[in-house]
Amino acid sequence: MQMQRIVVTSYTGATYGSIRALLSQNRVSHMSITGSPPMNVDDVTTDAPRQPSLTEYQANVVNFEQSLFNSLLTEWHEERGIASSASEMILCPSYQRIIAMGPAAIPLILRQLRNEGDDPDHWFWALEIITGEDPIPEDAYGDTVRMAELWLTWGRRQNAW
Amino acid sequence: MPGSWSPSNLPFLTEDNHSIESPRKNRYNCLSWAAGSKRKWWSPIKPYFWPPEAPREATIEAFVRAFETLGYAVCADGSLELGIEKLAIFARTDPAGNLVATHAARQLPNGRWTSKLGPLEDIEHLRPEDVNGPTYGAPLRYMSRVK
């Protein structure tokens, strides 16, 4: 089987799906992601003719998803600007792309939420849409620190990260 | 010190008409700041805080109702009056032609105004109109209450 090297330098909506498809077919032995958003697959070349181990394959998937998430996070902060409206923030295309990553985004969001400490960002809507869960009681609405703690507790119970 | 916002979002802010008063924070927004709180992010959508007596919608009427729960009532303008606290409620027209409430600023005792810029810094500015622009639109309602 021909192995491929993929260099992602920009991103379009179709990119995530196509790279996941290549990874799931075990056709990628090495992947590097460069550039800032928007990213796209613009260079696919033949690489080492070696079947990657399961560990390498998993590392490729994790690296790709983390890089994609980081890029979309940067893009989201730029897109939302000074918007005070939570609806406007979550309707940003980059935030919607994070939601479109599906379950793969859950551990990335939860780790990000944990790293944000006492000033958590607005991940609650994405988590609720992706997981179908709602661990936030009404008396915690708007208290972003408490909401983050509740989601992190949910994540630990689910072994989600 | 320059703010972390894009000047295109706030085209009327100049070095002379505003000052930055806090670091950027995700924890509270303009509505909670106008209400005098830094503890909760106010927004009509769940899972954010919204006064139960107000409809959960981004309309001027809903914003007015939300601040009425704190004792404010609609008033004529944003002029400085002794012993009175005032708010300005901003709105802009969305692409479908609907008026969408977007922002609130609070008058300070010295007559200047304070705005929290979404998840970014809070600032003091000379007039409510200093934060007019494509994101917030313009102040369309004023509210006041006795201190």
Q: DSSP string of B27-85?
A: S--HHHHHTT-SS--B-SSTTSB--TTS-SS-SHHHHHHHHHTTT-EEES-----TTEE
Give the span between the Cα atoms of B103 and B109, in whole angstroms: 20
Q: How close is the nearest chain A Cα to the Cα of B147, in Å?
A: 26
Cβ neighbours of B9 in A, within 8 Å: 81-82
A residues 7-46 lying closer than 8 A (beta carbon) to B: none
Residue B126, CA atoms < 13 Å, CB-side half-sphere: 8
Query: B131 with B66: CB under 8 angstroms?
Result: no
Q: Determine the average pLDDT of the residues in B16-23.
A: 94
Same domain, A59 and A36: no
Q: How many domains does chain A have?
A: 2
Query: If you average pLDDT over residues A53-71, what whole number do you get?
Result: 80
Cβ-Cβ contacts under 8 Å, A136 against chain B: 47
Sort out which chain A residues have CB atoms less than 8 A from B30's CB and list them: 84
| Predicted confidence (pLDDT) at residue A32 exceeds the cutoff of 60 | no
- Which residue, chain included where needed, has tokens 């009427």? B61
| B33 touching chain A per CB within 8 A | no
How far apart (Å, rounded) are the C-alpha atoms in residues B53 and B64?
A: 11
Contact B136 A82 (CB under 8 A): yes
Q: Does B132 touch chain A (CB under 8 A)?
A: no
- Domain extent listing, chain B: 26-146
Q: What is the mean pLDDT of residues A48-72?
A: 76
Residues whose CB falls within 8 Å of the CB of residue B96, separated by 6 or more in sequence, listed in order: none
Same domain as A124, residue A64: yes
Distance from CA of A78 to the nearest CA of B (A): 9
Residues whose CB is less than 8 angstroms from the CB of residue A73 and which lie 6 or more positions away in sequence, other chains included: A94, A98, A112
Same domain, A77 and A42: no
> Is pLDDT of B32 > 60?
yes
Q: What is the DSSP letter of A84?
A: -
pLDDT bin (cut points 50, 70, 90) of residue B147 is: confident
The average pLDDT across A127-150 equals 97
Q: Are residues A71 and A41 in the same domain?
A: no
**Within this chain, do residues A69 and A142 fall inside the same structural domain, yes or no?**
yes
> Confidence class of residue A91 from pLDDT cuts 50, 70 and 90?
very high
**What's the mean pLDDT in A108-136?**
96
Q: Output the pTM of the full model.
A: 0.82
Identify which of B103, B143, B142 has the alpha carbon closest to the alpha carbon of residue B10. Answer: B103
Residues A104 and A30 in one domain: no
User: Which CA distances in Å does A55 have to A48, A58, A61, A62, A67?
Assistant: 17, 5, 10, 10, 18
Whether B118 and A81 lie within 8 Å, measured CB to CB: yes
- Mark whether A60 and A36 lie in a shared domain: no
Average pLDDT of chain A to the nearest whole number: 80
Range of the domain at A89: 54-157
Whether residues A152 and A125 fall in one domain = yes
| Lowest-pLDDT choice from A7-16, A99-108, A132-141, B60-69 | A7-16
pLDDT band at A8 (very low <50, low <70, confident <90, very high): low
Are A127 and A151 within 8 A, CB to CB?
Answer: yes
